[in-house]
Structure 1
Amino acid sequence: MTDTLLDVSGVTMRFGGLTAVNDVSLTVGQGEIIGLIGPNGAGKTTFFNCLTGLYVPTEGTVTFRGSVLPPKPHLVTQAGIARTFQNIRLFANMTVLENVLVGRHTRTREGLLSAILRGPGYRRAEAESREKAMELLEFTGLAAKADHLSRNLPYGEQRKLEIARAMASDPGLLLLDEPTAGMNPQETRAAEELVFAIRDKGVAVLVIEHDMRFIFNLCTRTAVLVQGQKIVEGDRETVQNDERVITAYLGAPLAETGPDQATGAAPVTGTDPTEADQ
């Protein structure tokens, strides 16, 4: 049996009278790749934000490695969860190497005084961080562009750089928000290989994606969100053959499919206003 790494129990997120995520539970085991799919506005990115401390859930708990996560992003990163974003958020005027070095900040212990004095401890920590960053650039195929400005990278390589920066914090769980958005088929295949390689390093992955082929090639389990509710979770066959999933992607209202058999939750109205393209 796979050891549970992430345990999300009954997470609900409301914005005033609007329920964006409603009573969603999910587990991710050590070494698993889990998918999260759903139509635009389903609440997927909002759910990620609840896991990473950007939002404090209205209800429910998020437990990682047996401890409830503090509702602050930097503490979540220290605990061992890293993420990428749907919209690339690199430091455009910094080099590729510098972007990855930023991701190491939660794993370095040198303070302001040490940085000012630049003593032996600081220089040693700086050298170790550079070595780790270059290893990650080798891993993602970006080592030859370490000194390039990140804004000058092709789109697909910017996506890889975001993953390298996230991996720099030595996570046990990596959250990927639409890692293949805007990619061509060749770049998508490369992204798929990279996710498998990350899993082989012992890092579990939870991924949001609209590319169904990408998701089903990667994931052992996939959960489906519709209007903030998890309507089904299972393997490829279970998800593809579920009538509620088919109906949701064809655009019919969830209410027309009958009571929610997956969670027993009441119908949810509205979507998260911060998640216009999710």
Structure 2
Amino acid sequence: MTTMTTTATTTTGQTVLDARGVTMRFGGLTAVRGVDLTVRSGEIVGLIGPNGAGKTTFFNCLTGLYTPTEGEVRYKDTVLPPTSYKVTAAGIARTFQNIRLFANMTVLENVLVGRHTRTKEGFWSAVLRGPGFHKAEAASRARATELLEFVGLAAKADHLARNLPYGEQRKLEIARALASEPGLLLLDEPTAGMNPQETRATEELVFAIRDQGIAVLVIEHDMRFIFNLCDRVAVLVQGEKLIEGDSATVQGDERVVAAYLGEPLENDPGAAEAAEVEAAEAHADTPHDTAAGKENDR
């Protein structure tokens, strides 16, 4: 795997993500309420919160899986369309909490799927298979091979994705996301189910991605991982942003401690409403859910 930097200190620059007043309702339930968040180039930002806090719902609003009920999402000053493949084409890629690989395709083929938004060849080029098609195909394979080398999977390029160990499947999903050449990468619980050694390797990989100039926004329940990794951390509780700041500021906030220890906050609806929100999200029937899911599974 590519040599990696193990410090989170870097120079930040242009705002790549600007989410303003993002609200997502499912019927009478509000899963996300008025959330503002920015991410700048050269920055790793963490998003944490108890189960049912609205973190994945917020991610889905950023990536076009859901159309926010209110608010807007901008990428490099352009309002994003509420369609997942257009969001990917604009420059935002993501991984999922539950791994979504093509199990019966090879490792290399999975990464090549991620290149589809960056290839210029059309239908007739693919049918006729002229020189332009073969040149584009060779370029895509070369880039996919580079990415597999980057994440440490080059030796397994011809293996079926389903035969990879769990931790390597996570790496493959990241490589596939990077194949779309994003300016912002969203990681949804990238260390879930990993042992400490795998978690450390993921941390180093995220630093290496940041050092390539890609901004990163990450959801994670492993607090040690988050606070070691991130320049800033935002905390969602009951669908609202409770606090945002550096690791020391967030760890020292009494409201954050209360949220994680289960002590009731003011007007806390308790676990019942959190479960209702999760159920509503799971069964949401918006016009974009099915199509967006298919686009993300390609």
TM bucket, shorter chain: over 0.9
The gaps in structure 1 that reach 5 residues or longer are 258-266
Equivalent residues of 1:19, 1:268 under 8 A apart: no
- Give the structure 1 partner of residue 148 of structure 2: 137
Identity in percent: 76
Alpha-carbon distance in 1 for matches of 2:266, 2:183: 38
Q: Does 1:146 align with 2:157?
A: yes
Q: Which moved more, 1:180-189 or 1:242-251?
A: 242-251
Q: How does 1:221-240 map to 2 (within 5 A)?
A: 221-240=232-251
Distance change (3 Å), C-alpha of 1:269 and 1:119? closer
- Of 191, 196, 205, the residue aligned with 1:185 is 196
Q: Secondary structure at the match of 2:142?
A: helix
Matched letter for residue 257 of structure 2: I
- Give the structure 2 partner of residue 207 of structure 1: 218
Q: Which moved more, 1:76-85 or 1:236-245?
A: 236-245
- Give the structure 2 partner of residue 160 of structure 1: 171
CA deviation after TM superposition for structure 1 residue 201, in Å: 0.3
Q: List per-residue Cα deviations over 1:10-54 (Å, max 9, x = no partner).
A: 000000000000000000011100000000011000000000000
- Of 8, 15, 37, the residue aligned with 1:4 is 15
Equivalent residues of 1:227, 1:269 under 8 A apart: no
CA deviation after TM superposition for structure 1 residue 116, in Å: 1.1
- Give the structure 2 partner of residue 109 of structure 1: 120
Q: TM-score, normalised by structure 2?
A: 0.87
Alpha-carbon distance in 2 for matches of 1:87, 1:141: 21
CA deviation after TM superposition for structure 1 residue 79, in Å: 0.4
Runs of 4+ in 1 over 3 A off after TM superposition: 267-270
Q: How does 1:36-51 map to 2 (within 5 A)?
A: 36-51=47-62
Q: TM-score, normalised by structure 1?
A: 0.93
Equivalent residues of 1:22, 1:268 under 8 A apart: no
CA deviation after TM superposition for structure 1 residue 4, in Å: 1.1
Aligned length: 267
Q: How does 1:44-83 map to 2 (within 5 A)?
A: 44-83=55-94
- Give the structure 2 partner of residue 272 of structure 1: 278
Matched letter for residue 145 of structure 1: K
CA deviation after TM superposition for structure 1 residue 251, in Å: 1.2
CA deviation after TM superposition for structure 1 residue 272, in Å: 3.3
Q: Which moved more, 1:244-253 or 1:73-82?
A: 244-253
- Give the structure 2 partner of residue 261 of structure 1: none
Q: List per-residue Cα deviations over 1:182-214 (Å, max 9, x = no partner).
A: 000000000000000000000000000000010
CA deviation after TM superposition for structure 1 residue 255, in Å: 2.0
Equivalent residues of 2:52, 2:275 under 8 A apart: no
Matched letter for residue 22 of structure 1: R
CA deviation after TM superposition for structure 1 residue 252, in Å: 2.4
Equivalent residues of 1:12, 1:59 under 8 A apart: yes
Q: How does 1:87-98 map to 2 (within 5 A)?
A: 87-98=98-109
Alpha-carbon distance in 1 for matches of 2:244, 2:107: 38
Q: Secondary structure at the match of 1:180?
A: coil
The gaps in structure 2 that reach 5 residues or longer are 1-11, 283-298
Alpha-carbon distance in 1 for matches of 2:265, 2:108: 46
